[in-house]
Amino acid sequence: MAMGQHKYNPTAIAAKNGEIPPKPKHPSKREREAIAYMAFQKAMHDKGLLTPFDMNTLLGVDNIYFD
């Protein structure tokens, strides 16, 4: 790598000038777990296998209402 190579990188220059939007952030581990849990719960409910109350009872959750 030559010294000053960053001066000739068009992508870096455009990002520095704000011409390129920043990359979107990936969901955190907890957010991915929550999305997967909600998808699983919805699939089970749609199939009529378990109600939300049954799921919470199995998981040991006292509150049947989730955020």
Find the DSSP H helices in the chain.
10-16, 29-47, 52-59
| pLDDT at 64 exceeding the cut of 80 | no
pLDDT, one tens digit per residue, over 17-61 is: 989 988 889 999 999 988 888 888 788 778 877 666 666 666 666
| pLDDT for position 16 | 86
Check pLDDT > 60 for residue 62. Answer: no
Predicted local confidence at residue 28, as pLDDT = 92
Average pLDDT, the chain: 77
Residues in the chain: 67
- Which residue shows structure tokens 């581990």? 29
pTM of this structure? 0.46
